[in-house]
Chain A
Amino acid sequence: MHSIEATSPSVWKRFKDSHFWHSFKKDKVAIVSFVIFMSYILISLCAPLIAPFDPYDMTQFDIMDSEIPPTWQENGDERFVFGTDSQGRDMWSTILYGTRISLTIGICAVLLQAFLGIIIGLAAGYFGGRVDSLLMRIADVQLSFSTLMVAIIVLAVFQAAFGAELYQDLALIMLVVVIGIAEWPQYARTIRASVLAERKKEYVDAARVMGLKSGRIMFRHILPNTLSPILVISTVQIANAIISEASLSFLGLGMPPSQPSLGSLISSGFAFIFSGSWWITIIPGIALVVLVLVMNLLGDWLRDVLNPKLYKG
Chain B
Amino acid sequence: MTSLVSIKNLYKKFPIHGDLLDQVSFSGGKFHLKHEYVHAINGVNLNVERGEALCVVGESGCGKSTVARTVMGLLSPSDGEIQYEGKRIDNLSSSAMMPYRRKMQMIFQNPYASLNPRMTITQTLEEPVRWHQPKLNNAEVKEKVAEVMQSVGIDPSWGVRFPHEFSGGQRQRISIARALIVDPEFIVADEPISALDVSIQAQVLNLMMDAREQRGLTYLFITHDLSVVEHFGTRVAVMYLGALCEVAPTRKLFAAPKHPYTQALLSAIPRLEDEKPDFIRLKGEVPTPVNLPSGCVFHGRCPHANERCKKEIPKLMDVDGTMVACHAVEENRLG
B108: contacting residue among A7, A206, A212, CB under 8 A: A206
A210 touches B116 (CB 8 A): no
Decide yes or no: A206 and B19 within 8 Å by CB, A4-B157, A221-B116 being known contacts.
Answer: no
A210: contacting residue among B101, B142, B156, B175, CB under 8 A: B101
B106 contacts chain A at the CB level, 8 A cutoff: yes
A202 touches B182 (CB 8 A): no
A211 touches B94 (CB 8 A): yes
A104 CA to B106 CA in the complex, in Å?
A: 48
Chain B residues whose CB sits within 8 angstroms of the CB of A209 once the complex forms: 72-74, 101, 104-106
A3 CA to B160 CA in the complex, in Å?
A: 11
A209 CA to B106 CA in the complex, in Å?
A: 7
Chain B residues whose CB sits within 8 angstroms of the CB of A211 once the complex forms: 94, 97-98, 101-102, 131-132
A125 to chain B, nearest CB (A): 15
A7 CA to B157 CA in the complex, in Å?
A: 8
- Bitwise, B104-131 to A at CB < 8 A (1) or not (0) is 1110111001111111000000011001
A203 touches B116 (CB 8 A): yes
- Bitwise, B74-105 to A at CB < 8 A (1) or not (0) is 10000000000000000000100110011011
A208 contacts chain B at the CB level, 8 A cutoff: yes
B55 to chain A, nearest CB (A): 20
Looking at B104, B109, B113, which has the most chain A CB atoms within 10 Å of its CB?
B113
Chain B residues whose CB sits within 8 angstroms of the CB of A221 once the complex forms: 116, 119
Q: Which residue of A lies closest to B158 (CB)?
A: A7
Decide yes or no: A206 and B178 within 8 Å by CB, A3-B157, A4-B159, A211-B97 being known contacts.
Answer: yes
Q: Which residue of A lies closest to B122 (CB)?
A: A4
B93 to chain A, nearest CB (A): 11
Looking at A5, A7, A205, A210, which has the most chain B CB atoms within 10 Å of its CB?
A210
A209 CA to B113 CA in the complex, in Å?
A: 15
A225: contacting residue among B108, B116, B132, CB under 8 A: B116
Could you tell me how many residues of chain A have their Cβ less than 8 Å away from some Cβ of chain B?
Answer: 22
A201 to chain B, nearest CB (A): 4
Chain B residues whose CB sits within 8 angstroms of the CB of A309 once the complex forms: none
A3 CA to B128 CA in the complex, in Å?
A: 24
A3 to chain B, nearest CB (A): 6
Q: How large is the interface on B (under 10, 10 to 19, 20 to 34, 35 or more residues)?
A: 35 or more
A210 CA to B102 CA in the complex, in Å?
A: 7
Q: Which residue of B lies closest to A210 (CB)?
A: B128
A13 contacts chain B at the CB level, 8 A cutoff: no
A181 CA to B178 CA in the complex, in Å?
A: 41
Chain A residues whose CB sits within 8 angstroms of the CB of B131 once the complex forms: 210-212
A8 touches B160 (CB 8 A): yes
A39 contacts chain B at the CB level, 8 A cutoff: no
A173-231 interface (Cβ within 8 A of B) = 201-203, 205-213, 221, 224-225
Chain B residues whose CB sits within 8 angstroms of the CB of A202 once the complex forms: 108-110, 113-114
Decide yes or no: A205 and B116 within 8 Å by CB, A3-B157, A4-B156 being known contacts.
Answer: no
A87 contacts chain B at the CB level, 8 A cutoff: no
Chain B residues whose CB sits within 8 angstroms of the CB of A1 once the complex forms: 142
Chain A residues whose CB sits within 8 angstroms of the CB of B106 once the complex forms: 205-206, 209
A201 CA to B157 CA in the complex, in Å?
A: 27
A8 CA to B108 CA in the complex, in Å?
A: 28
Chain A residues whose CB sits within 8 angstroms of the CB of B182 once the complex forms: 210
A212 CA to B178 CA in the complex, in Å?
A: 14
Chain A residues whose CB sits within 8 angstroms of the CB of B160 once the complex forms: 4-5, 7-8
A221 CA to B69 CA in the complex, in Å?
A: 20
B144 to chain A, nearest CB (A): 14
A265 CA to B102 CA in the complex, in Å?
A: 63
A258 contacts chain B at the CB level, 8 A cutoff: no
- Bitwise, B276-299 to A at CB < 8 A (1) or not (0) is 000000000000000000000000
A203: contacting residue among B74, B97, B114, CB under 8 A: B114
Q: Which residue of B lies closest to A224 (CB)?
A: B118
A225 touches B117 (CB 8 A): yes
Chain A residues whose CB sits within 8 angstroms of the CB of B73 once the complex forms: 209
B98 touches A208 (CB 8 A): no
Chain A residues whose CB sits within 8 angstroms of the CB of B98 once the complex forms: 211
Chain B residues whose CB sits within 8 angstroms of the CB of A225 once the complex forms: 116-118
Chain B residues whose CB sits within 8 angstroms of the CB of A224 once the complex forms: 116, 118-119
Chain A residues whose CB sits within 8 angstroms of the CB of B115 once the complex forms: 203, 206
A201: contacting residue among B113, B158, B178, CB under 8 A: B113
A260 CA to B109 CA in the complex, in Å?
A: 60
Q: Which residue of B lies closest to A222 (CB)?
A: B116
Decide yes or no: A133 and B19 within 8 Å by CB, A206-B106, A210-B182, A211-B101 being known contacts.
Answer: yes
Chain B residues whose CB sits within 8 angstroms of the CB of A7 once the complex forms: 157-158, 160
B193 to chain A, nearest CB (A): 15
Residue pairs across A and B with Cβ atoms less than 8 A apart, 11 shown, are A1-B142, A4-B160, A133-B19, A202-B108, A202-B114, A203-B115, A209-B101, A209-B105, A210-B132, A211-B94, A213-B94
Q: Which 9 A-B pairs have the closest CB atoms?
A: A211-B101, A202-B114, A8-B160, A202-B108, A224-B118, A201-B113, A203-B116, A202-B113, A209-B106
Which B residues are within 8 Å of any A CB, using their own CB? 19, 69, 72-74, 94, 97-98, 101-102, 104-106, 108-110, 113-119, 127-128, 131-132, 142, 156-160, 175, 178, 182
Which A residues are within 8 Å of any B CB, using their own CB? 1, 3-5, 7-8, 133, 201-203, 205-213, 221, 224-225
